[in-house]
Amino acid sequence: MKSSIDTPTSAPPGQALSRAQWLVLVAAFLGWMFDGLQQGVMPLVARPALQDLLHVQNDALIGPWMGNITAVFLIGAAIGGVLFGWLGDKIGRVRAMMLSILAYSIFTGCCYFIQSPRQLAVFRFLSALGMGGEWSLGVALVMECWPEKHRPMLAGAIGAAANVGMVLIGALGVAFAVTRDSWRWVMLAGAAPAILALFIAFFVPESEAWKKAVRAGGTANPFREIFSSARWKTTVLGIVFASIPLIGTWGAVQWIPMWADQMAGESARHAKGVTQVLLASGAVFGCFFGPLMGGRLGRRQGYFMLCVTSLLSCAYLFRFVHSYDTSFLVMAFLVGGFTGTFYGWLPLYLPELFPTRVRATGQGLCYNTGRILSACGALKMGWLLQQFEGSYAKAGATISLIYIAGLALIWLAPETKGKPLPE
């Protein structure tokens, strides 16, 4: 469905931004915000939901199931990111984004009706297909429609959007005790973003850069081009730089609310909600800080510093904090902030690696292959919980060492600071 609004273009310096450009940004922000809400659902409901479905209390028994479901979710997100990214290069960013939002909304709502952990895993996989696709489509659409000088701030806004969603779901956990009897209503509320798909269908215009690429002939096989002799090294490096923070997040940081719930016990039933809010609030700030670092220092130097701060903050939280108290809450905010910086850096850097005709496919493949590897991190975390007898701290301290790899590998990356998006 076409909008009557003027098609957005990347305006020359000094030219006023159009209404269409703002609509594109709003749609991408809301889409990724609701993505974040979907991602934040499981840390909030997982423990009571699995206790209910398995009829157990022991975290050593819940941990492997949480690891498996998280891994399935991430694999679904990876498949969806590649699938919808390819679809976005074929039928347009806007139509593909609308379909991706419908997918993650409907299947999250279906989780209300499940009766077993396996059914939970199936519907989380299906919802993840849409969630994975929205990121690459929203990033491509915004970066192609806005002027180059705004790129760092836009990357921060898009990265922050997911964490705003996590703040909202965490606030729900604070206001509404998520228990073995009430967790299903949280999943049902996850169907609400379907309304956003209607807004996108009626009001958001398509990328002019994508239309131009289609008129010029586009590419018959986006996957062949991104793995061509000229681009495969860049593609592999993009996968590596997305994988490191995703493994840290899904293998360690996303488990912190469950750790808080374990430590607080019945004395503070809102602990996981409070922790979720603090992690996500810190990440909102971090998502603006990450691309600003990349914009000022350069993409490589910025990523190096993000790995340093993430490594140190995780090491302190997991190794030196042993109870649910003020120091834990402060460190949860800081860890959320430092590890969240990457989600502002990635939407700044990944679009700069690929030309318009394959951008959604290329950046979607990089980010979502990282999700597959982060699924391995989630499985490893579940296994470590068994080995460490339910200790989230010991398991998290082990997984968060992944940031050391980023300190070395980033120097192999191409520097793109100050360069226009490739045509």
Dump pLDDT digits (tens) for 71-100. Answer: 888 888 888 888 888 888 888 888 888 888
204-246: pLDDT as tens digits: 888 787 888 777 765 557 788 888 888 899 999 999 999 999 9
Domain-located, residue 270 = yes
* pLDDT given for residue 409 in this prediction: 95
pLDDT per position as a tens digit, 335-377 = 999 999 998 899 889 988 988 888 878 887 888 788 788 878 8
Q: What is the rounded CA–CA span in Å between residue 267 and residue 263?
A: 9
Asked if residue 218 is part of any domain, the answer here is no
Query: Does a structural domain hold residue 4?
Result: no
In a domain, 211, yes or no: no
Report whether pLDDT(2) > 50.
no
Task: Establish if 12 belongs to a structural domain.
Answer: no
Q: What is the per-residue pLDDT for 123?
A: 92
Does residue 261 belong to any structural domain of this protein? yes
Residue 422 lies in a domain: no
pLDDT digits over 237-293, tens only?
999 999 999 999 988 998 898 899 889 877 676 888 889 889 988 988 998 888 888
Tokens of 306: 């993000």
Q: What is the pLDDT of residue 219?
A: 57
Measured in degrees and rounded to the nearest 5, phi and psi for residue 417 equal -60, 130
Question: Is the confidence at residue 5, as pLDDT, over 50?
Answer: no
Give the total number of structural domains in the chain.
1
Q: For all residues of the chain together, what is the average pLDDT? A: 84
- Which residues have CB under 8 Å from 150's CB, separation 6+? none
| CA nearest neighbour of 380 among 122, 29, 5, 68 | 68
Determine what percent of the chain is predicted with pLDDT higher than 70.
95
Q: What's the pTM?
A: 0.73
Instruction: Supply the pLDDT for residue 59.
Output: 72
CATH number at residue 322: 1.20.1250.20
In a domain, 88, yes or no: yes
State which residues form the domain around 394: 20-205+228-412
